Every structure is written in structure tokens, then in C-alpha cells.
Amino acid sequence: MDLSPRNDEAAPPPPRRRGKRWPAIAVLVLVLAGGVVIVTQFLSSAIDYYCNVDEVGAKDGCEAGRRLRIQGNVVEGSVAAEGNVTNFVVEFNGVSLPVRYDAGDPGGIFQECVPVVVHGRFTDGVFIGDEIEVKHSNEYEAQNADRLDQALTACQLEA
């Protein structure tokens, strides 16, 4: 019995797969490019700079043309509700800023002379807020004790 390999010269060579790689590479490049665009858009829209009222226009990152989180005290006597809109003024270190909150009632613990953080954007010199955070938890107080002390001191000086 002969077990040596045969040399069959009549058999054709295996087919080559030359052009089938390029569509797969093109799809991979498109998926990666799409992922980069989505991540970039998500990260840029998720960044809200945190600024005190007196830092708006003065501190890097606190320019009026971007989305911000503004911290200050609600000025006593400034809260006015008109239907679904609440207008008020926030103040910090002697600088005040008018706020328009269009997202309904700001919440049960929102009141005058309380430190708040308002998320939103400037439009025609008015800060248009879409979310309000009111000092209410021990965790917030622990992380922002210096800001709260400044805000409460400013409010007590006004009264």
C-alpha cells in the first residue's frame, strides 16, 4: 500500500478572496466613526459648568453662550409665578441674575432666601432654567459647605 502524497497537477489552485475584505473594512471604519461622533456629542452636552452668579462672564467656562449651572440665593420678594412659569432673582456676592423657570413648579422646598443651583442657558440677559436643585440633603451640605456658608451669610446680611 502506497501512502505517499500524490502530485495531482490537474487540480486547480484554491480561489483567492481578494476583493471581499474592503467592504468589511469600510463598515468597520463607518461604525468606529459613528461611535466617535456619538461619544463626542454626549460628552459635550453632558458638561454643565458650575458657576456662582458673580462668576458669570468673569470666570473661564462661565460664558453666557453655553449651558451652565448657576448657584446663588433666591432673593427675598423676587419669586413670581405666572401659570407654568416661575420668575425669580438669584444673587451671590452682591451680583444678581434674573431667572425664568419654564418647567412648572420648582418644588415644595423651593423658597426665598434659600441657596439654589439652576441648570440652563442665557437668553436675552435672562437665565432660562430647566432644572432646579435646592439645598436639602446632608450630602450636598458636606460637599458644598463653603458655598452654603457664603450664601446664607449673604441672605442674612440682606434681611
Quick: pLDDT tens for 62-88: 777 788 888 999 898 988 888 889 999
Do residues 64 and 72 make contact, with C-beta atoms less than 8 angstroms apart? no
**Distance (Å, whole) CA 81 – CA 62:** 27
CB 120 within 8 A of CB 68: yes
Lowest-confidence pick of 26-30, 56-60, 114-118, 139-143? 139-143
- Residue 60: the pLDDT is 76
pLDDT at 55 over 90: no
Q: Which three-class secondary structure state does DSSP give residue 145? A: helix
pTM here?
Answer: 0.59
**If you ran DSSP here, which 8-state letter would residue 159 be given?**
-
3-state DSSP call for residue 127?
strand
Reported as a pLDDT band with limits 50, 70 and 90, residue 49 is confident
- Alpha helices in 19-82, H assignment, sequence order: 21-46
**What is the per-residue pLDDT across 98-125, written as a single tens digit (0 to 9) for each?**
999 987 777 767 888 888 899 988 888 8
Q: How far apart are CA 143 and CA 145, in angstroms?
A: 6
Contact between 106 and 89 under an 8 Å Cβ cutoff? The reply is: no
